[in-house]
Structure formats: structure tokens, C-alpha cells
């Protein structure tokens, strides 16, 4: 069956470092992959979309890679700040719906 | 933006609930998700131009409506304890969207 896996353990990093989050999927061939940010008690906020023919996409301090051979996307936040602390979700389209991973909680400490 | 009401709701097992969503203006697609604590959003169903356009693995007691005025609702009958979750609606321009705009959610607690 189709599956999306994100590291369920929280990622704790020091301010200024680069945070790297992983999204792995199986039994999918998605045309694109999305990343969202979710703060506690709030709805997810769209960050980036990367298509299957794109290897890398950047937006300000964010960088996403998409390796369709490894079936993996990496999400990087460079020069991380405490305000980046949140849960980050990846999502992939599957026929008529988006499937979300469980998310990885990022904690950036000063 | 996308708004939802109410913010919080407490119901007892067996009751019925209606949650409401106001989509971003001009968006013809609304999707509803259930998010349990510590989990990602789970797709319930989607409405496109007032017709159901896809459904996840949820029983028929979860139903919905979409209205022409950018509003929609999620109805859940015969509430069960496991229905306690954050319910999110998301609006988009397309059925399989490049980007969805989520509301803040309704926190439903079933006692």
C-alpha cells in the first residue's frame, strides 16, 4: 500500500544551523510533492511545491529536493531561527486527494 | 482567507455535529481533513462545484455540502469518541491543487 514516512521524532537544532527534514514515500509515483508548516492548534500553511522533473527548489531560506529514484524529498531550512519552530508536513497527490505524512516537529533553540 | 466555525466544540457520543467553512473567494474546490493529535491530516472528502469529488476512508456518517456562496459544511452523525480531532477545511482553485489554503480548524471533543 502507499505510504509516506516522516521522522516522527522531533528535530532539535541550534539557531543558525541548517535543519534538514526527510520525507520518504513508497508505492507512489507522484507528479509533485508539497511541504507545509503547521503551528500548534493551527491549520497547515503551504510553503513549497516541487515537481517530478525538478531536482531542487528554493524560496528564501528554504530549499527542497526531490529524488524520484530514491523516492525521497529533503527539506532544508538554512540559518534557522527560533521562529522556524513548528511541525513540517509533506504531502503528495494520489488520484483525487492529497496524502499527508505525519509531520516532523522542528525545535530551534537559541 | 479561509475561515472555520466554531473554533472549539464539545459533544457527547451519539450526537450530531455540523462544522462550517468559508472558502477563499473564487475557489471552487473545498477539501475536508481530520487531524488526530500527532498525526497528519487525513482526507475525508472533497467538493468541487457543489458535487462530491472524491472521498477518503471515512464512513457515510461523515457527509458534506458545498454552497454557491463559497461556504461549505461537514456533518458528522452518531459521534464516536474517536471522532475527537481537529477538523480542517482547505480551499483551492483546482481539484488536485498545486496549493491549498487551510482554515484554522475546528477542535471537536467527543465525551
1-60 in chain B: CB under 8 A from chain A: 2, 31, 33, 38-43, 46, 53-54, 56
Taking residues A78-89, report their average pLDDT. 97
Mean pLDDT over all residues of chain B? 94
What's residue A1's pLDDT? Answer: 72
Nearest C-alpha in A relative to B2: A43
The three grid cell numbers given for residue B83, joined into one nine-digit string: 471522532
Say yes or no to pLDDT of B95 above 80.
no
Size of interface A-B (CB pairs under 8 A): 59
Rounded to a whole number of angstroms, the distance from the CA of B15 to the nearest CA of chain A is 24
What's residue A11's pLDDT? Answer: 95
- pLDDT tens string A1-60: 778 999 878 999 999 999 999 999 998 888 899 999 999 989 999 999 999 999 899 999
Taking residues B25-46, report their average pLDDT. 93
Strands (E), chain A: 3-6, 11-14, 19-26, 32-38, 45-51, 56-59, 62-67, 72-77, 86-94, 97-100, 104-109
Amino acid at each position: 500500500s502507499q505510504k509516506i514516512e516522516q521522522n516522527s521524532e522531533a528535530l532539535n537544532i541550534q539557531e543558525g544551523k541548517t535543519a534538514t527534514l526527510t520525507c520518504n514515500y513508497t508505492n507512489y509515483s507522484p507528479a509533485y510533492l508539497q511541504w507545509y508548516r503547521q503551528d500548534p492548534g493551527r491549520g497547515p500553511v503551504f510553503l513549497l511545491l516541487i515537481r517530478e522533473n525538478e531536482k531542487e527548489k528554493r524560496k528564501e531560506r528554504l530549499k527542497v529536493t526531490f529524488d524520484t529514484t530514491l523516492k525521497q524529498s529533503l527539506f532544508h531550512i538554512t540559518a534557522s531561527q527560533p521562529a522556524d519552530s513548528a511541525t513540517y508536513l509533506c504531502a503528495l497527490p494520489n488520484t483525487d486527494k492529497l496524502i499527508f505524512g505525519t509531520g516532523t516537529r522542528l525545535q530551534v533553540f537559541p | 482567507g479561509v475561515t472555520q466555525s466554531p473554533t472549539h466544540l464539545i459533544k457527547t457520543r451519539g450526537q450530531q455535529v455540523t462544522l462550517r467553512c468559508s472558502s477563499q473567494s473564487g475557489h471552487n474546490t473545498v477539501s475536508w481533513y481530520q487531524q488526530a493529535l500527532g498525526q497528519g491530516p487525513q482526507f475525508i472528502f472533497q467538493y468541487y462545484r457543489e458535487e462530491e469529488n472524491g472521498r477518503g476512508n471515512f464512513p457515510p456518517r461523515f457527509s458534506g455540502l458545498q454552497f454557491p456562496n463559497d461556504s461549505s459544511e461537514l456533518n458528522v452523525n452518531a459521534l464516536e469518541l474517536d471522532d475527537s480531532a481537529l477538523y480542517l477545511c482547505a480551499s483551492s482553485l483546482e481539484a488536485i491543487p498545486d496549493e491549498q489554503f487551510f482554515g484554522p480548524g475546528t477542535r471537536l471533543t467527543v465525551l
